[in-house]
Amino acid sequence: MSRALYRGASGIGGKPVAGYDAADEARYDPKEPSENGIGGAGGRGRKRHLAVAAVKIGVLVLAAAALVGSVAWAGSLYAGRGAAAAAAAAAASRGYRRLQEQLVTDLLDIGELAGGGVRAREAEVCVPEYENYVPCYYNVSDAVDVADLGGGVVISYERQCSREGKIACLVAPPRSYRIPVRWPSGKGFIWKDNVRISGQEFSSGSLFKRMMVEEDQISFPSDAHMADGVEDYAHQIAEMIGLRNEFNFNEAGVRTVLDIECGFGTLGAHLFQRDLLTMCIANYEASGSQVQITLERGIPAMIGSFASKQLPYPYLSFDMVHCAKCNIEWDKNDGGFLVEVDRLLRPSGYFVWTSSLNTHRALRDKENQKKWRTIRDFADSLCWEMLSQQDETIVWKKTNKLDCYSSRKSGPVLCTHDPESPYYQPLNPCIAGTRSQRWISIEHRTTWPSQSRLNSTELDIHGVHSEDFAENTANWDSMVRNYWSLLSPLIFSDHPKRPGDEDPQPPFNMLRNVLDMNAHFGGFNAALLKAGKSVWVMNVVPTNAPNYLPLIFDRGFIGVQHDWCEAFPTYPRTYDMVHADGFLSLEKHQKHRCSTLDIFLEVDRILRPEGWVIIRDTAPLIEAARSVVTQLRWDARILDLDIASDEKLLVCQKPFIRKQ
């Protein structure tokens, strides 16, 4: 087994990790040789260059022979058969030629991987204009600073991904970037220079979009400093749905919450202490981003909007949808935005809407009265029941009775086809999920934390056998224990200590958020929680993998569908760790979708400096992947898991590249 990495090796050759102060931070030198085989002497590099050249020459010779052979084979068939058979022979020849060409391409790919560790040039660092680059939402002109949103910067609040024009450079942090404060202290304040703010964000927007900017940090007021604090607000919502207080949300079947335009995650941070998991979504924002700041605080968030497309979650996923002054005009789009809320809500789930439109004073205005009647009538047509109204807040409850829809006189029709993979599809004007076996009232579901251990009846809904699920659970419990034994105190320590720091007090965590690139059943998420770790996991189900995202939500976790040939909907430097189990094997069967380097460049963009990547896969794919990650300047080490297993771990740490 390879020697375990040790704390402080953010680059190659055992350099110390970068500290909080610029004086302690050293630039990573990618040319320094190391024990793990990255870099090395020039003589060895020349030998490998010759070897790779020989491989390529051999591949080209094989390609020529294969094509000549296919033509000769087709000619012999044509000469020995009639005209009718000749056409079939020609078609067979074309098919054979395609197979030969695919073989040649595959062999060329192997040749590229074989020599990638030495031949390939290291990726360049992007120019400063890209330090907050979010693909699919805007394009950055080299001549324009994104802080000045003038000509040359195109902002798109709708996700528009194109595989053309992708940047192939490493997105570097801002000049004064500092490693985020560890959880739970990081919930209360963040470093000011880690996020882009302009001063317009302090009072506008969401009910809880409040912060205090000091010399080098941003702090978020606690309840003690808020007259209408989040604790009182959560208590009010609980009372409005018939509970004693917010401690009873789980008992009422509420575990997952979608918070639309969440401010800076204050409600999600509070509900996390009540065993509720809140996903914040908000539009892309060039400055003062709710999503960027919420993630910096260690709270789940991603870029998403109620515009013209469905969110990449399955139907019947959330127990509550919350919107507090979220600036969405619910009366517009023929009620389509409310239909999308209905799609996401489970039966008996709650829609909480807080808006100044709901006050008696606002409703004196005739235009506001018209808007309110439109929203109320459309909610009735969705079979929502208005439970209560207090001050600016209204709570609706989605029906759990299917016969309600047949008794309506008007309203959206029921969907005849309910796709559970709505990957940025256009908004659907019909009511979804009514034909699904997952149509189960939240009051009748197993409550958290038992919810994460689905029973056989619940697994049958997803076509999963109890034995397979139990085996997956046991494997991940064992795997997480192996991770701890192999990688503590590097990654999974609950008591991190950076060079020069005093001993921290528990329960400070090395990790707060983890992105699982190929989540399958969410087993890694479950094993982390079972081990008692205060982390949350963004469970990602690739669009080219079996879609178990509904199962993941039914376990009380959160996640998203995603095509890894596109950019993930988040800001740079927003995840502490990226985990990928079997992802390389999955991509191996999807030829020419995009390159492994493109995917890893995106992982580098969303990973924090000094963040970690753990890739688990077959030995040949792990070896090939290490050749690719060297182009990203990651410190990489391959670890054996089990002598009897063909699987290996590729453990990487992203260096802190400090601008000079």
Share of the chain above pLDDT 90, in %: 57
Cβ contacts of residue 485 below 8 Å, gap of 6+? none
- What's the confidence (pLDDT) of residue 200? 60
The token pair at 584 is 């390389």
- What's the confidence (pLDDT) of residue 1? 38
Cβ pair 309, 136 in contact under 8 A:
no
H or E stretch covering 615: strand 607-618
Dihedral sign from CA coordinates of 344, 346, 347, 353: negative
Residue intervals of the chain classified under CATH 3.40.50.150 are 226-442, 448-495+506-652
d(CA 189, CA 193): 12
Q: Work out the average pLDDT over 470-498.
A: 79
The CATH number of 448-495+506-652 is which of 3.30.70.20, 3.20.10.10, 3.40.50.150, 1.10.3720.10? 3.40.50.150
Residue the block writes with tokens 């749905």? 241
**Cis omega (within 30 of 0) on the bond before 184?**
yes
Residue 372 has what DSSP assignment? H
Q: Which of 80-89, 481-490, 600-609 has the lowest mean pLDDT?
A: 80-89
Does residue 180 register a pLDDT over 70?
A: yes
Residue 162 has what DSSP assignment? -
Q: Work out the average pLDDT over 377-400.
A: 97
d(CA 371, CA 332): 9
Predicted confidence band of residue 66 (pLDDT cuts 50, 70, 90) = very low
Cβ pair 25, 19 in contact under 8 A:
yes
The token pair at 415 is 């969907």
- What's the confidence (pLDDT) of residue 540? 98
d(CA 567, CA 606): 9
Q: Which of 490, 499, 557, 498 is nearest to 527 (CA)?
A: 557
Cβ pair 241, 277 in contact under 8 A:
no
Q: Work out the average pLDDT over 287-296.
A: 92
The token pair at 129 is 């204009």
Predicted confidence band of residue 403 (pLDDT cuts 50, 70, 90) = very high
Q: How many CB atoms lie within 10 A of CB 489?
A: 14
Top pLDDT among 253 and 120 is at 253
pLDDT in tens, 429-480: 999 999 999 999 999 999 999 999 999 999 999 999 999 999 999 999 999 9
Cβ pair 548, 541 in contact under 8 A:
yes
Top pLDDT among 36 and 80 is at 80
Q: Where are the alpha helices (DSSP H) in 366-435?
A: 366-381, 403-406
Q: Work out the average pLDDT over 549-558.
A: 98
Q: Work out the average pLDDT over 356-382.
A: 94
H or E stretch covering 55: helix 42-80
Predicted confidence band of residue 418 (pLDDT cuts 50, 70, 90) = confident
Cβ contacts of residue 28 below 8 Å, gap of 6+? 10, 11, 12, 15, 633, 655, 656, 657
Q: What are phi and psi of 614, to 5 degrees?
A: -120, 120
Cβ pair 258, 320 in contact under 8 A:
yes
* Separation in Å, CA 636 to CA 118, 559, 581: 15, 27, 16
* Separation in Å, CA 41 to CA 27, 115, 123: 21, 15, 20
What's the Rg (C-alpha) of the chain? 27
Q: Where are the alpha helices (DSSP H) in 492-534?
A: 523-530
pTM: 0.80
Does residue 175 register a pLDDT over 70?
A: yes
Top pLDDT among 580 and 64 is at 580
* Separation in Å, CA 439 to CA 434, 532, 554: 6, 31, 11
Top pLDDT among 78 and 646 is at 646
Q: Which of 271, 354, 358, 355 is nearest to 318 (CA)?
A: 271
Does residue 385 register a pLDDT over 80?
A: yes
Q: What are phi and psi of 471, to 5 degrees?
A: -65, -40
Predicted confidence band of residue 420 (pLDDT cuts 50, 70, 90) = confident
- What's the confidence (pLDDT) of residue 198? 72
Predicted confidence band of residue 46 (pLDDT cuts 50, 70, 90) = very low
Q: Which of 5-19, 87-101, 251-265, 322-336 has the lowest mean pLDDT?
A: 5-19
CA angle 266, 269, 275 (to 5 degrees): 140
Q: How many CB atoms lie within 10 A of CB 85?
A: 12
- What's the confidence (pLDDT) of residue 208? 64
CATH 3.40.50.150 is the classification of domain 226-442:
yes
Q: Work out the average pLDDT over 330-354.
A: 97
**Cis omega (within 30 of 0) on the bond before 16?**
no
Torsion of CA 212, 214, 216, 220, to 10 degrees: -20
Q: Work out the average pLDDT over 256-267.
A: 94
d(CA 256, CA 553): 8
- What's the confidence (pLDDT) of residue 199? 62
pLDDT in tens, 208-248: 667 788 889 998 876 534 445 888 999 999 999 999 998 99
pLDDT in tens, 522-533: 999 999 999 888
What is the residue type of 591? K
Q: Do the strands 393-398 and 345-354 form a parallel or antiparallel pair, or are they unpaired?
A: antiparallel
Predicted confidence band of residue 313 (pLDDT cuts 50, 70, 90) = very high
- What's the confidence (pLDDT) of residue 497? 56
Which strands make up the sheet holding 212-213, listed edge to edge? 189-191, 217-219, 212-213
- Residue 88, classed as helix, strand or coil, is helix
Q: How many CB atoms lie within 10 A of CB 556?
A: 27
DSSP string of 75-87?
HHHHHHS-HHHHH
Assign residue 203 a region (left: φ > 0; alpha: ψ between -120 and 50; beta: otherwise).
alpha
Mean pLDDT of the chain: 79
Q: Which of 215-224, 271-280, 419-428 has the lowest mean pLDDT?
A: 215-224
Top pLDDT among 121 and 580 is at 580
Does residue 496 register a pLDDT over 90?
A: no
- What's the confidence (pLDDT) of residue 151? 38
Q: Work out the average pLDDT over 143-165.
A: 56
State the distance between the two ends of the chain, measured CA to CA, in whole angstroms: 38
